[in-house]
Structure 1
C-alpha cells in the first residue's frame, strides 16, 4: 500500500503545480480533460493502485446504466436497471466498508453459545463512501428524469474520479459538475488567485487550528481517567471545534483547488455552530451529505407525507443510515440515532409551539436566541462524544466523567481556550444582533497581509508528522 497524498503535503503541492502548468499551456478542452482524468487516477493510485479497479467498475457500470435508462420507457425494465445500479454500488460499499463490522458483530453474538467465527481484515478503499454516493446520485437522477444521461465516458469518468473531491467530498452531484466538463473552461489569474485564497484559509483551519487542538483532545481522550470533569468537557468542546476546522478546512481546500483549475464545486459548511436548532444545524453541516440523504433516503422513505409517527420513523431510519455511512461501528449508528431523536423532538416541539404562540414572538427575543444556540451546541457536542469514542464502553466512561463531577487533574490548554473564546465572541456578535459577523466583508480576510500571516503560521506550526483529514477515514 502507498501513502495518501494529503493536501498539506509538499508532494501534493508539486503535483498540483505541475498539473496547473500543463492545463495552462493546453488549449483544447478535450485534451485538458484527458490530462485532468489521468491526474485524478494518479492521485488515487498514489494511495493504492490496486483499488483503481473498483473505481473503473463503478464508473463504467453506472455510465452504461445511465445510457440505457434514457432509452427505455417500460417501467419494469427501468426499475431493473436502477436496481442493478443499487446492487452493484452498495455491494462494493458493503464488501469493503461494512463486511468487517458485521462479521465482528456476528462473532460477538455467537461466542456466548460456543460458536466461533473467523475474523476478516478488509482494507477500506480511499473515498469509497464519497464516490459511491456520487455515482448513485447520477443513476437515480437519470432514473427520475431529473437530468439527461452523460454521453461522454470521458466526462463521466472525470466526474466520478475528480481528485479535489475524492478523499472527503464534497459529494458533488452530476448536475453540478458534468455541465462544467461539457463546456470549455478558461484558466485566468483571477480564478487561480481565488482558489489560492480558499486553499490557504482551509490549510490554516486544518494545520493551525484543528491540528493544534488535536494535541490537547487526543491526549485527554486517551487518558480520561486522570482528568477532572471540566477538562473532559473542554476536550469534548475542543473536539467539536477540531472536527469542524478539520473538515471545513478540507472542503475549502478542495473548493480552492477546483476553482484554481476552472471548476466550481458547492460549499459544504455554513457556520453550523451558530444554528438555533438541530434541523438548522443539519442544513449548515456537511451540506452536500445532508441534501443527499434528504433527497435519496428520507424522501424515498416517504418523508413527512404520512403523518407524525411515520415521519418520526423515517427521520430515525435516515439518521441511522447517515451514522452508518460515517463509519462501520455501532457508535456511529448510535450517533445517528441520537441526532434522529433530537430532530424528532425538535419537530414535536415546533408543532406544539406553533399551536400555542404567535409565530416569531419567541424567536425574535434575545434570550431565546441565546438559549436555542446554546442548547443546540451542547446537543451537538454530546453527540460528538459517540463520534469520537472508540467504542460504547469508552463513550460511557467519557459520559460518566462529564456528567458526574469527579476529582482529577485539570488541564486548561491555552490555545483551546483561545479558540473557544474567539467562538464566544462570534456568538455574542450574532446574539447582540449587531450582525457584525455576517456584515463583515469577507474581502478583509483575503488581504495579502492576512493570507501571508496564515501561510507563515501554517509553516511554523506544521506538525512533524502529517495528520490525515478525519473524514478521509470514511
Structure 2
C-alpha cells in the first residue's frame, strides 16, 4: 500500500517540489489532485463517496446562507446530516446491526431474513464525514461563512495529510488557510522536520514493535496466559495505539507545515493526565471537541442539573465508542469512559464542596493520580482491543485472580520499557516544560542528536512486519 511504502515519500517529494513553484490557485489544484490520488491508491471506487459528500455539503451550506426562513435552514441542515450519517451508517454499521437484529429475532422465535452484504469500510470515512458535518453545522449556527469556491471546499474536505486519520479540522480554523494566500516561513521547515521525525519514531520504533507483543497476547487463549502477561500485553497495546495514532497526527502536522498549513494539535501527553476529564483534553482532541460541541452541549451539557449532566456524559461517550466501530467492545469502551467521567465529576463536586480553598496539587499526589488514571485507561484499552466482550472479561478475570509472574512477563516488560521508555521520558520533559515543541528551543546540536537517535532506532530496531495505522479502520 502507498501508506506504508517508500512510494509515499517519493509521492510527497514530487508534490512538494511542484507545489512551492505554483501560485495559490494552482497550489490548490495540485493539492486536490494529490489528495484524490493519495486516497485512490487505497481504493479508487470510494473516491465517489468523498466527492458526493463534498458536493452535498457545499450546496447545502450555500443554501443555508441564502435561505431566509429558519425552517428552510433546518431542512437543509437535516438533508446534510441525514446524507452524511446515512452513508456512514451503511458502510460502517449495516452488517453489525443486521446480524444483531437477526440474532435477536431468532432468539424470540421470529425468523427474519435480512440481506447479507459484504460491505468494505472506506478508509477514513468517519473522519471526513465528521469534518464536513461540522462545516454545515457551523454555517447553520452562523459560526462561519460558506465558501463559494468549490475547489477550496474540496481541498478542505480531502486534504491528504489528514484525510484518513485526522485530526478533524473545523472550517473556522482550516478553511481560511485554504482560501487565502499561503506565505512560506523558514520556521515551517524546522517545525515540520521535528514533527515528522517524532511521528516516525512513535509509529515505527514504538507502535509497530509494541504491536508484536499486543497481537501475540490477544491472539492467545486466556487458558494459556497469566494475569501479569495479560497486563503487560495491555501496556503494550496502550503504547501501540498511542504511538500509532499520535505518530500519524504528528506526521500529518509536519507534512502540512511543509505545505504552509497549520493543523490543530491532536495529542498533549495523554498518559500524564490526572483524571478522566484531563485525559480527554489530551487524547484525540479533535474528536473530543467535536463530541463536546456538536453532541454534549446540544444535549444540554451541564445546564440542567447533575442527573441530566450524567446522562449527557454517558450518551456522548457511548456514541463516541460507537463512532470507533461496529462492535460491542467499542460500545463497552465508551460506556466505561462515560462511567469514569460521571464518577469523577461526582467525586470532584463533593470534594470542592468540602474544601473551601483550592490547593495546588503536590508532586507525589499528582504522580499517584497519573498512575491511577493510566491504569484506568489501560482497562479501557482492554475493552477496545479485545475481539469480543467474552475475551475482555476472561482477560480481566486473569488480571484480578492470577498473579503468577513468568519469564515471558519479564521479557515482555523489558521490551515495553526499552521501546516505550524513551518516549515516556521525553514526554515527561515536555510535560515539565509545559510546551509541546520545547525541543525546538534548544540548540541545533542537541536537536541533531535527538533526531539522529530517533532515526537510528527506527533503522536499527525495525518491527518484524510493517503495520497499517490503527485508525485507518475508523
TM-score higher than 0.5 = yes
- Name the residue aligned to 2:56: 61
In structure 1, runs of 5+ residues without a counterpart are none
Cα contact 1:231–1:410 (8 A) shared by 2: no
- Give the one of 90, 94, 99 matched to 2:89: 94
Cα distance, 1:455 vs. partner? Answer: 2.0
**Residues 226, 409 of structure 1: 8 Å contact kept:** no
Find the counterpart in structure 2 of residue 291 from structure 1: 289
Residue 237 (structure 1) shift: 1.7
Q: RMSD in angstroms over aligned alpha carbons?
A: 2.2
What residue number does 2:329 align with? 331
Equivalent position of 2:9 in the other structure: 13
Deviation sequence 1:277-314 (CA, Å, 0-9, x none): 10010011000000000000000101111111011101
- The 5-angstrom pairing of residues 123-162 of structure 1 reads 123-162=120-159
* Aligned partners of 1:192 and 1:261 also within 8 Å: no
The residue that corresponds to 2:235 in the other structure is 237
Alignment of 1:40-439 (within 5 A): 40-112=35-107, 113=109, 115=111, 117=113, 118-187=115-184, 190-223=187-220, 224-361=222-359, 363-405=360-402, 407=404, 409-411=406-408, 412=410, 413=412, 414-419=414-419, 421-422=421-422, 435=432
Give the Å deviation of 1:186. 3.5
Gaps of 5+ in 2: none
**Following the alignment from structure 1 to structure 2, what is the Cα–Cα distance between the partners of residues 373 and 464?**
32
Q: Distance in 1 between the 2:38 and 2:455 partners?
A: 24
Deviation for aligned residue 1:227: 2.3
Deviation at 1:120, TM superposition (A): 2.4
Aligned counterparts of 2:380 and 2:389: Cα–Cα separation in 1:
13
User: What is the distance in 2 between the residues matched to 1:179 and 1:439?
Assistant: 24
1:151 Cα deviation (Å)?
1.4
Displacement of 1:55 in angstroms is 0.7
| Paired residues of 2:205 and 2:419 also in contact (CA < 8 A) | no
The superposition leaves residues 364-415 of structure 1 with CA deviations (integer Å, 9 ceiling, x where unpaired) of: 2344313322221111110110000011111111111111115585412222
The TM-score with structure 1 as length reference comes to 0.93
Contact persistence 1:209–1:242 (CA under 8 A): yes
Question: Which has the higher mean CA deviation after the structures are superposed, 94-103 or 457-466?
Answer: 457-466
Kept after mapping to 2: 8 A contact 1:227/1:409: no
1:33 has 2:28 as partner: yes
Say whether the 8 Å CA contact 1:426–1:437 is kept in structure 2: no
Shift in Å, 1:170: 0.4
Structure 2 vs 1, CA of residues 126 and 275 (structure 1 numbering), >3 Å: closer, same or farther? same
